[in-house]
Structure 1
Amino acid sequence: MKLAEAQETMQKTVEATQRAFNTIRTGRANASLLDKVQVEYYGTPTSLKSLTNISTPDSSTILIQPYDKSSLNIIEKAISLSDVGLTTNNDGTVIRLNIPPLTSDRRKEFVKLAAKYAEEGRVAIRNIRREAIDAIRKQEKSAEISEDESRDQQDKLQKMTNKHTEKIDHLLAEKEKDITTV
């Protein structure tokens, strides 16, 4: 694994962690809360985004307009079965999700969940670092690179790891602030 590959993979890990953070409710309506919802549409699991127009008319409501009105009931069922934890209001043409204000206990749970996602991201970055270091050491053993080059690459890799871990920590701090702000 080359340093450029490690850099790219670490960046993808940071982006995946950001997407995971986006699925956590903050008390305000956000269309990305529904990113993980899959609808069984004509026997095929399909993302909710591809079947509907999702908008947030105000800070406490998510409005879901299906392109195909006949799919309204299966969309409603998929949302209620998902782990979003919101009650659907179906008026025959659109589905409304009202976002209730978060209690302090619920906020604490979401902060813990965000911390869990951040730790998973940090672990993934450390695993990438470990794989890259193993590859560098193999190159050194097979005399493809010198011991000095090996140390230089390992130092660069460690700096890269620290930078990406700091990004995740920064994203976590922002998400915690979003969750705890009333």
Structure 2
Amino acid sequence: MIKDVLANMNARMDKTIEALRREYQRVRTGRASTSLLDEVKVDYYGNLSPLSQVATLAVPEARTITISPWENKMIPIIEKAILNANLGLTPANDGKQIRLNLPPLTEERRKDIVKQLKKDGEDAKVALRNIRREAIDELKKLEKEKQISEDELKRAEKEVQDFTNTHVAKVDEVFAHKEKEVMEV
């Protein structure tokens, strides 16, 4: 029973870290990355489709993303979708492909981005603490129902705290890596 609670808690904490990583991938840094366009949806014959399913995305240079639609008639639709996504990018096309040039980030903008990253990291830590609290509540309930002893409860609580500390350290590590990437000129 204790193992089930711990396994469930660990899986939920891992998902929290993965969600944070995905969130950080969407954040614009000084470098171009196709993950900036992950959330862009395009109207493709009446269906909203991810941009990557209607075009080839590439990063030929450090500050440029190219989008090569599989059908030329999709160019204006893709441009409109990018503008509507509020990414702060202006698409330019040459009739065959769309280019997105990422302007260099100002120092002030970089600091704002780091503030947002820190907030997201803190939100992830709060989520981890909530998962820890729920796991400890489950363990206390098991002890109250006499399914585990008081000693087992204490050992399990220590294990829960160790898991939590490990995952909080991972959040700090992910944040530090992304902060370094954003502040890099």
User: For the superposition of Structure 1 and Structure 2, which TM-score range results when normalised by the shorter chain?
Assistant: over 0.9
Q: For residue 53 of structure 1, report the CA deviation from its aligned partner.
A: 1.5
User: Would you identify which runs of 4 or more consecutive aligned residues in structure 1 move more than 6 Å?
Assistant: none
What is the SS of the residue equivalent to 1:2? helix
2:112 paired with 1:109: yes
Q: Deviations over 1:115-141 (max 9, x none)?
A: 121112111111211211111111111
> Over aligned residues, Cα RMSD in angstroms?
1.4
Q: Percent identity?
A: 47
Q: Aligned equivalents of 2:139 and 2:71: distance in 1?
A: 53
| Aligned with residue 170 of structure 1, among 168, 173, 185 | 173
The structural deviation recorded for 1:5 is 1.2
**Runs of at least 5 residues in structure 2 that lack an aligned partner in the other structure:** none
Unaligned runs of 5+ in 1: none
| 3-state SS in 1 of match to 2:148 | coil
Once residues 170 and 127 of structure 1 are traced to their aligned partners in structure 2, the CA distance between those partners, rounded to angstroms, is 20
User: Structure 1: how far apart are the matches of 2:13 and 2:156?
Assistant: 16
Give the structure 2 partner of residue 11 of structure 1: 14
Q: 2:149 aligns with which of 146, 150, 155?
A: 146
Shift of 1:165: 0.9
TM-score (norm 2): 0.92
Length-normalised TM-score, structure 1: 0.94
Partner SS for 2:99: strand
Match of 1:55 in 2: 58
Distance change >3 Å, CA 83–CA 164, structure 1 → 2: farther
Aligned length: 182
Stretch moving more, 65-74 or 131-140: 65-74
Deviation track 1:29-67 (CA, whole Å, cap 9, x = no partner) reads: 111111222223333332222222111001010011123
Segment drifting more, 162-171 vs 74-83: 74-83
Q: Which residue of 2 aligns with 1:82?
A: 85
Structure-2 residue corresponding to 1:64: 67
